[in-house]
Chain A
Amino acid sequence: MSALQALLLVLVAVAATGVVLTRDPLRQTFAAGFYGGILALTFFVLQAPDVALSEIVVGAVGFPLMILLALAKVRGGAE
């Protein structure tokens, strides 16, 4: 295993822990986007460009976008 792969895998574990421990959903959305980016890089160094592309469009763009849209709705209703 290359040092880069090991480093990214450790980063994935740390970032995932960070995402879970971030209790405020709005902050967590950005943490989740960051986590998606690291995950995509990890897939890339695991020689899976197809999966990396999939993870980048979903994890770093699509998923945070959905969360933000849902949060906009529930927060707008609460005020």
Chain B
Amino acid sequence: MTRRARLVVFLAGAGGLAALLLWAISGLPSFGNYQGPYGNVLNHVAVGARHATNVVSAVTFDYRGIDTLMEEFIFFTAVIGTTLLLRAQLAEEEEPADDDATDRRTPAMSDAVRLGGFVMTGVTFLFGVYMVLHGHLTPGGGFQGGIVVGTGVLTVYLASEYETFLRVSSPTVLDVVEPAGAGGYILVGLGGLVGGASFLYNFLPLGVTGQLPSAGMIPVLNAAVGVEVGAGIALIVAEFLEQTLQVRKKQQTA
């Protein structure tokens, strides 16, 4: 199909879609007049029933725990796919990264960058872990904190050598940590089966509302998701870096 034909077909389709969307919008409650009962009920009940002050977290990891389990596994599968696609394949060979080469081409790094990166690494990791652990109290949680930790490993690469980065974010270790986070979620869910009534039943002691150890399994699930997302993102970053720095096409004889 030519580009022009494709555009014409798209414009016809988009016109129809736009008409349908406008029709649908005309039937929605006007902005600011939320009608649904569930949100209001949860806002009144969740804090008392689950001892979690962040109701969004309570919904994510308790009331809709199964849904989050599925989301987590979409994430998990996507990370596996990415890793598979980026690992060196038969037609390629790894060669030492430019950073490691004896005839170093990259300029030496200034002490200021090194120190700045060093400080940033610590602060970023700490902030990420803080976000994961306080997810049931204030905005944050395993998903957001995990990304902060995962992208934080890149500051290690920026502030030092590729070798050091590989030591911090070693794919061999991450390959184990990432599924451990995913499996941890299921284990907590099974704990609900053993200690209570059903899968993902909040079976742990609820504690005092507003304190760090409270809300039963919600912080535990937050930690599991944090580990999985953090390791997953770090793994993706490490694989992309490896592709860029190490893998070159085998010299073709043709």
Q: Which residues of A contact B (CB under 8 A)?
A: 1, 49-50, 52-54, 57-58, 61-62, 65-66, 69-70, 72-73, 76-77
Stretch of B11-19, B161-169, B236-244 on the interface side: B236-244
Q: Is B140 an interface residue (CB 8 A)?
A: yes
Q: Which residues of B contact A (CB under 8 A)?
A: 31-32, 54, 56-57, 131, 139-141, 143-144, 147-148, 150-151, 154, 233, 236-237, 240-241, 243-244, 249
A76 & B237 in contact (Cβ 8 Å cutoff): no
Q: Which of A49, A70, A77 contacts B139 (CB 8 A)?
A: A49
Q: How far is the CB of A66 from chain B (nearest CB, A)?
A: 7
A79 vs B245: C-alpha distance in the bound complex, in angstroms?
Answer: 14
- Complex interface: chain B residues within 8 A of A49 (CB): 139
Q: Which of A52, A54, A62, A76 contacts B233 (CB 8 A)?
A: A62
Residue among A1, A50, A70 with the highest chain B CB neighbour number at 10 A: A50
Q: Smallest CB-CB separation from B141: which chain A residue?
A: A50
Q: How far is the CB of B232 from chain A (nearest CB, A)?
A: 11
Q: Smallest CB-CB separation from A44: which chain B residue?
A: B139
Q: How far is the CB of A65 from chain B (nearest CB, A)?
A: 6
Q: What's the dominant secondary structure at chain B's contact region?
A: helix
Q: Smallest CB-CB separation from B30: which chain A residue?
A: A1
A76 vs B244: C-alpha distance in the bound complex, in angstroms?
Answer: 7
A72 & B244 in contact (Cβ 8 Å cutoff): yes
Contact of A57 with B139 at beta-carbon distance under 8 Å, contacts A62-B233, A73-B243 already known: no
A52 vs B141: C-alpha distance in the bound complex, in angstroms?
Answer: 12
Q: How far is the CB of A58 from chain B (nearest CB, A)?
A: 6
A65 vs B144: C-alpha distance in the bound complex, in angstroms?
Answer: 16
A70 vs B243: C-alpha distance in the bound complex, in angstroms?
Answer: 9
Q: How far is the CB of A46 from chain B (nearest CB, A)?
A: 10
- Complex interface: chain B residues within 8 A of A57 (CB): 144, 147-148, 151
- Complex interface: chain B residues within 8 A of A70 (CB): 240
Contact of A1 with B32 at beta-carbon distance under 8 Å, contacts A53-B140, A57-B151, A66-B236 already known: yes
B147 & A58 in contact (Cβ 8 Å cutoff): yes
B54 & A50 in contact (Cβ 8 Å cutoff): yes
A62 vs B56: C-alpha distance in the bound complex, in angstroms?
Answer: 22
A58 vs B233: C-alpha distance in the bound complex, in angstroms?
Answer: 11
- Complex interface: chain A residues within 8 A of B56 (CB): 50
Contact of A50 with B244 at beta-carbon distance under 8 Å, contacts A57-B147, A61-B151, A62-B151 already known: no
A-B residue pairs in contact (CB < 8 Å), sample of 25 = A1-B32, A49-B139, A50-B54, A50-B56, A52-B139, A53-B131, A53-B140, A54-B143, A54-B144, A57-B144, A57-B151, A58-B147, A61-B147, A62-B147, A62-B150, A62-B151, A62-B233, A66-B236, A69-B240, A69-B241, A72-B244, A73-B243, A73-B244, A76-B244, A77-B249
